[in-house]
Amino acid sequence: MEQTLPYSWYSDPEILRREQERIFRGAWQYAGHTGQLGDGAGYFATRAGRTPVVVTRDRGGELRAFVNVCRHRGSVVAEGEGSRETLQCPYHAWTYGLDGRLRAAPRSEEEPGFPQDELGLVPVAVGTWGPFVFVNATADAEPLAGALGSLPAQVAELGLDVDSLVHHSRWETELDANWKIVCENFLECYHCQVAHPAFSEVVDVSPDAYLLSTEGRLSTQRGQLRTATPQDELPRAQFHFLWPNLGINIFGGHPNLSIGPIVPLAPDRTYRFLDYFFGPDVEPAWIDELMAFDDQVGKEDRALVEAVQRGIGSGALERGVLMGRSEQLIGHFEALTAGALSE
């Protein structure tokens, strides 16, 4: 049988440091959505791995992103989100335009030859798929389309028009588990019949009906609804994972999608958020029902991943094993992760 990654990799601070440098530093990360930028000029603060990032859009509609660190003494410049024309550092009031240029630095006129044109915010790569905004902390990153691969086409094939989706809400949490444990839990439904009875009543999770596939950095799970109705615009569920840490959920029924990253905070601590989107005509009662359903699945998964962390973190065993058919997506994830760390 195929073995898992060494269990020490789920608790070792040195492994996390290497993951941050070799995996997250150059990876496209879901940052937020265009609705956070308002109707005119605006910004929102986010992160790409450990790097603070600010996404901006000027009145001309140009989207940009920058390292959200002041060029003076290194303070984070922007917090939250809002509609405004400039960004001002709270430490010494250095002020930047939404194009990243340094507009004003108090007392700079007292400094001979002050290099104002050279002290703008450092740009990073930014791109969109529908309303979803992605950033990459390296300015010369591969195009976002290359990183997404066939993901947009698979979602479109389902019949979901992402450009029509409307943001509903953001869910956030922290988990007492390594980020890889959280990802691996997302990547298999071998546990669904045991741990998610309500989910298993809605989606056929039997091995012949619940389909798994990989393509490049993309892993996909497809599940048929046990009881579809003529009113269901989406005939089945899709769950996508874009390595290293992005999860996307699309449930069968009416137009819906939730998307968000799985972010390491410490070897045994992970931050997650999910942005929920729905079609503009979806009934509020259906939305409330889906949100309650997904919240229950999330609570069940929290118990699972935190129990795995306690077991792995004990040091009692060196490795586990994978079920070749049911857990093939975990094998794919672990191969990509190990490959990146060995480079």
Can you give the chain as a three-state secondary structure string? CEECCCHHHHCCHHHHHHHHHHHHCCCCEEEEEHHHHCCCCEEEEEEECCEEEEEEECCCCCEEEEECECCCCCCECCCCEECCCEEECCCCCCEEECCCCEEECCCHHHCCCCCHHHCCCCECEEEEECCEEEEECCCCCCCHHHHHCCHHHHHHHHCCCHHHCEEEEEEEEEECCCHHHHHHHHCCCCCHHHHCHHHHHHECCCCCCCEEEEECCEEEEEEEECCCCCCCCECEEEEEEECCCEEEEECCECCEEEEEEEEEEECCEEEEEEEEEECCCCCHHHHHHHHHHHHHHHHHHHHHHHHHHHHHHCCCCCCCEECCCCCHHHHHHHHHHHHHHHC
CA dist., res. 199 & res. 37, Å (int)? 35
Dihedral, CA atoms, 103, 106, 110, 115, nearest 10 degrees?
-30
CA dist., res. 82 & res. 84, Å (int)? 6
Q: Count Cβ atoms below 10 Å from residue 10 Cβ, excluding itself.
A: 23
CA dist., res. 45 & res. 207, Å (int)? 42
The reported pLDDT for the residue numbered 101 is 98
The reported pLDDT for the residue numbered 269 is 98
Domain topology for 149-342: Naphthalene 1,2-dioxygenase Alpha Subunit; Chain A, domain 1 (3.90.380)
Report the sign of the C-alpha dihedral through residues 150, 151, 156, 159, in that order: positive
Kindly give the confidence (pLDDT) of every residue in the chain, 343 residues in length, as a single tens digit, with 9 standing for 90 and above.
Answer: 899 999 999 999 999 999 999 999 999 999 999 999 999 999 999 999 999 999 999 999 999 999 999 999 999 999 999 999 999 999 999 999 999 999 999 999 999 999 999 999 999 999 999 999 999 998 789 999 999 999 999 999 999 999 999 999 999 999 999 999 999 999 999 999 999 999 999 999 999 999 999 999 999 999 999 998 888 999 899 999 999 999 999 999 999 999 999 999 999 999 999 999 999 999 999 999 999 999 999 999 999 999 999 999 999 999 999 999 999 999 999 999 999 999 7
- Check: CB of residue 223 under 8 Å from CB of residue 236: yes
The reported pLDDT for the residue numbered 259 is 98
pTM: 0.96
CA dist., res. 14 & res. 19, Å (int)? 9
**In the chain, what are the domain boundaries?**
29-140, 149-342
Query: Residue 195: which of 209, 185, 184, 208 has the closest Cα?
Result: 185
Please state the CATH superfamily assignment of the domain spanning residues 29-140 in this structure: Rieske [2Fe-2S] iron-sulphur domain (2.102.10.10)
For the chain, first and last CA: distance in Å?
25
